[in-house]
Structure 1
Amino acid sequence: GTSEATAATHTITADEQRDAAAFWTAERMRGAAPLDLELTPGRLKELKAPEPGGATTTVAPTPAADGTSAHAAGPLSFPQAGGSWGSGGAVVKTSGRVFFTFDGRTASCSANAVTSQNRSTVITAGHCVKYQGSWHTNWVFVPAYADGNAPYGQWTATKTLTTPRWEAGEGINHDIGAAVVAPLDGRKLTDVTGAQGLQFNGGYNKPMYAFGFPAASPYDGSKLVYCSGNSSKDFLLSQDHGLGCNMTGGSSGGPWFTGFSEASGTGLQVSVNSFGYVFLPNRMFGPYFGDEAQALYAEAQTS
């Protein structure tokens, strides 16, 4: 093994957690601006291919502790370039909005709860935990967010994490983040929400479903939106997955699934919404979950 750190981490004090828990009113959540990743030509020049990864590793989804699972309606049209997810299923509770303070203003992203040893791990994009050199503050995850409502509560982060290469230079291929959240009312996150599975080193060119809470026009962040289609490897500049998708800012950090069941709303998370090219509208890109993402997940779930 290498001596390289598996993840860059930021620990949040108890006082900061209390502040975050008190900060997010419905009004502040509705007013949070979507955080977009801006791709400048300079950043595009830094792109390099990821190293080949190890064997495919799969982690199964976990149902919520109460055992209830909403059944989805189906089947849905495939591919879908952006539609409201009205179909129920597990993804409604595992996915949510993230709210935080960045550069003195309120901002939002999306995230998803995953199966984890600590039952408290959320996966998002790197720029949704740290951007332009600083870690975000007042970080909370709101599963099943709906227009200012937090039906399962606001979960404050005790630790946020990203890949060493996102921390070092914000390299676009490495735009992966995670958070560990504190228990709420004596319960752990995924006991309440359930959790999606994950897959690392699973390859490219597969049917995928992407979810998020886009908040920039024409969307307003009030509801869960999804895209589906056959993904491809980015042929331009990154080593990311690409998918036809019209989701806008605010959807960053939302999950991409392979092996997704419309009936149960469960799948294996293999990426997150990361960025789009200005000159290539209606196409979303997400980082490949290889060894680096797996190391980040391992660090988060044992924190």
Structure 2
Amino acid sequence: MRKPLGALAIALLLPLLAVPLAQAAPEASDYWTPDRMRAAAPLDLPTVAPSDVKDVPAAPPAEVAPQAIPNGGGPWTGGGAVVTTAGRVFFSYQGRTASCSGNAVTSANKSTVITAGHCVKLDGAYHTNVVFVPAYDNGATPYGTWTARATYSTPQWNASEDINYDVGAIVVNQLDGRNLTDVVGGQGIAFNQPKAAPTYAFGYPAADPYDGTRLVYCSGTTFNAFLSSGIGLGCDMTGGASGGPWFHGFSETTGTGTLISVNSYKIVILPFWMFGPYFGADAQNLYNQAQAA
């Protein structure tokens, strides 16, 4: 994404916006054929230009090194619940097909997916033809294609696309008479958590050197972000991974954890670090409104 450092300014608080989708759910489902999914361009991760970077250290803060030293990403082969709760988010953006990542969470409506704000709204407009495909596998949709009936972003992202609040939610329709988390399960979600903690990040990066065909993960200890109020993690995931979940307390055995952030942005001169928004009160309000829809 092209959002400059100036976008970090705190926006005026506005009501959360539930957006009616421009295309009916059955049409969106039919639109996303396997070939169209494979051809969808990854939505670029937001980046900050070198000219915007001031006093950025060449290494992670001493209190979290060496755990936060960039360790890259790799395919997730551990199985468990994350294989079905995580998935790709497909949508139409400025006349082209595009993709992000997302994750199903426990919710009152059993139909809520958490993702990044720029994965539901970008450059002043909400995306259309939005669907969530859990457990996506190179065009295969083993748990179906779930069409969105509403999309949400935080007030600050909705007002000015402030990267500090780059959080979005998608509420999906039932599929074959069943709710999303009854079919794929849901991960827990928490707010106001410690910023420095062992963390696993997941997503479907689709920009080089990745191709969006499989679930990828990174792990390490998070640290305070340099250019926002969020958190950072050593990770080389690329465009398309946006919106993928960050977990505290993640079990490699069960594939379960507590979602505390999402893949959000990168600094162009530090490509092996990923940054995510801090889930505070505004993210919690977003989640509460989405799960009540």
Place the TM-score, normalised by the shorter chain, in its bin. 0.7 to 0.9
Of residues 40, 54, 58 in structure 2, which corresponds to 1:32?
40
1:156 aligned to 2:164? Answer: no
1:180 aligned to 2:189? Answer: no
Distance 1:109 1:9, change over 3 A: same
1:262 aligned to 2:252? Answer: yes
1:105 aligned to 2:96? Answer: yes
Once residues 236 and 45 of structure 2 are traced to their aligned partners in structure 1, the CA distance between those partners, rounded to angstroms, is: 15
Distance 1:119 1:245, change over 3 A: same
Render the CA deviation track for 1:71-109: whole Å, top value 9, x for unaligned: xxxxxxx98520100110000000000000000000000
Of residues 275, 278, 284 in structure 1, which corresponds to 2:265?
275
Show the counterpart of 1:228.
Answer: 219
Letter in 1 for 2:267: Y
Residue 6 of structure 1: how far off its partner (Å): 5.3
- Aligned-residue sequence identity (percent) comes to 58
Instruction: Map 1:8-87 to 2 at 5 A.
Output: 8-12=17-21, 16-40=24-48, 80-87=71-78
Instruction: Map 1:106-121 to 2 at 5 A.
Output: 106-121=97-112
Letter in 1 for 2:37: M
Residue 4 of structure 1: how far off its partner (Å): 5.2
Distance 1:133 1:42, change over 3 A: farther
1:284 aligned to 2:265? Answer: no
Show the counterpart of 1:239.
Answer: 229
Show the counterpart of 2:128.
Answer: 137
Letter in 1 for 2:19: H
Letter in 2 for 1:162: S
Residue 8 of structure 1: how far off its partner (Å): 2.2
Once residues 86 and 43 of structure 1 are traced to their aligned partners in structure 2, the CA distance between those partners, rounded to angstroms, is: 39
Once residues 245 and 83 of structure 1 are traced to their aligned partners in structure 2, the CA distance between those partners, rounded to angstroms, is: 10
Once residues 12 and 173 of structure 1 are traced to their aligned partners in structure 2, the CA distance between those partners, rounded to angstroms, is: 25
Once residues 153 and 221 of structure 1 are traced to their aligned partners in structure 2, the CA distance between those partners, rounded to angstroms, is: 17
Show the counterpart of 2:66.
Answer: none
Letter in 2 for 1:7: L
Distance 1:117 1:105, change over 3 A: same
Alignment gaps of 5+ in structure 1:
46-77
Q: Is the 8 A contact 1:255 1:271 kept in 2?
A: yes
Distance 1:204 1:38, change over 3 A: closer
Alignment partner of 1:112: what SS?
strand
Alignment partner of 2:236: what SS?
coil
Alignment gaps of 5+ in structure 2:
1-11, 54-68
Once residues 52 and 254 of structure 2 are traced to their aligned partners in structure 1, the CA distance between those partners, rounded to angstroms, is: 38
Name the TM-score, length of structure 2 as normaliser: 0.87
Q: Is the 8 A contact 1:206 1:230 kept in 2?
A: yes
After the TM superposition, list the runs of 4 or more consecutive aligned residues in structure 1 that deviate by more than 4 angstroms.
3-6, 40-45
Q: Which moved more, 1:138-147 or 1:15-24?
A: 15-24
Show the counterpart of 2:63.
Answer: none
Letter in 2 for 1:19: E
Name the TM-score, length of structure 1 as normaliser: 0.85
Q: Is the 8 A contact 1:207 1:258 kept in 2?
A: yes
Distance 1:94 1:6, change over 3 A: farther
Render the CA deviation track for 1:198-247: whole Å, top value 9, x for unaligned: 1100121000000000000110000000000011011x211111000010
Q: Is the 8 A contact 2:264 2:276 kept in 1?
A: yes
Show the counterpart of 1:300.
Answer: 290
Residue 10 of structure 1: how far off its partner (Å): 0.5
The alignment covers a number of residue pairs equal to: 267
Alignment partner of 2:29: what SS?
helix
Show the counterpart of 1:198.
Answer: 189
Q: Is the 8 A contact 1:139 1:157 kept in 2?
A: yes
The two structures, once aligned, show a CA RMSD in angstroms of: 2.0
Distance 1:253 1:141, change over 3 A: same
Show the counterpart of 2:138.
Answer: 147
